[in-house]
Amino acid sequence: MILFNLQSIMNDPLRFLRELACLLPVMLLSLTLHEWGHAFAAHKCGDDTAKNMGRMTLNPFAHIDPIGFFMILIAGFGWAKPVPVNSRNFRNYKKGEAIVSLAGVFMNLMLVLAFSALYVFFQYLFYTKSYAWLDSDVLWTVLLYGIILNVTLMLFNLLPIFPLDGYHIFELLFAKMLPMKAFLFLRRYGMLILIGIMLLMRVLEFFPAYELSMWLLGKLDTIVNALL
């Protein structure tokens, strides 16, 4: 998903600023809850490393990586500061690794459900009550970004490529089935593989997370129509 690009900024800078104002709070919320989920899950599993370093917080500035944040704006993918975790402190290593790895994705899933519920609720009010404040591009842009961005973060982080969350699950599942060289390869070249995937999607103009988001929005519209 390409959120912004230089051409769109030059063609319509006012629209860019308006959409940026809608995107920023959604992005801060989504990244913050994702990282908080990791920190909170680690704490519950017995590791207080993130908590002691001030990362088990809902303060977005504790989690934002400037370069990763900027990359999301211009390229449609990026990252926050990784939450420090010491898996040796887990009461159960495998269970702790799985829970902590999936905690961030789970938070993004909850946000997808929350934004989807708000989308249906406000659409229903829009068609039945005709409140003037519902006829606002800002409201619908925020809700759309909330769905699209969190679907993107959810799917992106499930990729079994280092250093994403999905890699840790992949390692847990296949540690005894695959040679160590496979995992070392992913750890060494993971970032290059991710960049390659992003570039390929850009060339092909195919963004699975965006397509899934549009499919979801279609289903939400069907729910709204059924309620009317």
Please name the residues in contact with 79: beta carbons below 8 A apart, sequence gap of 6 or more: 65, 68, 71
In whole angstroms, give the CA distance from residue 144 to residue 225. 18
Q: Quick check: helix, strand or coil at residue 52? A: helix
Identify the active-site residue in 19, 35, 97, 171: 35
Q: Answer for the pair 82, 55: CB distance below 8 angstroms, yes or no.
A: no
Phi-psi region of 159 (alpha: psi -120 to 50; beta: other; left: phi over 0): beta
Look up 35 and say whether it is catalytic: yes
Q: Tell me the helices (H) and strands (E) count for the chain, helix number first.
A: 9, 0
Return the residue matching tokens 């279609």: 218
**Which of the residues are catalytic?**
35
